[in-house]
Structure 1
Amino acid sequence: MSETPERPLLRIVRGNPSDAEVAALTAVVAAVAAAPAPQPAPRRTSWWADRASALRRPLHPGEGAWRASAFPC
């Protein structure tokens, strides 16, 4: 097997950074590379396909509520 030299991930072109600065830059690049890809937004159902309108609304009993339920407005 022939060994091909790999390109370095980072290469310092200018300046003289300290070891701490190089370590911080390496940590940031590694964190960005490990971040998951953004997920597409979930598809929303149309108003016509929404089954929530078929559900009964919650009951709110109160003063005279049972009497009022017998006589539609």
Structure 2
Amino acid sequence: MKELAKQFIGEECIIYTIASNDGSIQGVIKEIDDGGMVIERSYGGREIVNLDFVTRIRQYPRKKNGKKKDIVWD
């Protein structure tokens, strides 16, 4: 998972975990180490997530004009 997650460094992503309250975390992946990843949230906060609990990483979907989609359906 570590090597696959490195493809998303610097990208705004939705990270799905089994440990978060709402099931997903949104933010920019800043760095990835052996056991976790650092995520910078949109409000400026930083969060560290254990890679063992990550089930899916998805680049934030965008419209044709490059703007973020308002609603993301999974």
TM-score of Structure 1 vs Structure 2, range by shorter chain: under 0.3
Tell me the TM-score normalized by structure 1. 0.20
Higher helix share: 1
Say which structure, 1 or 2, has more relative contact order (CA 8 Å, 6+ apart): 2
Tell me the TM-score normalized by structure 2. 0.19
Higher strand share: 2
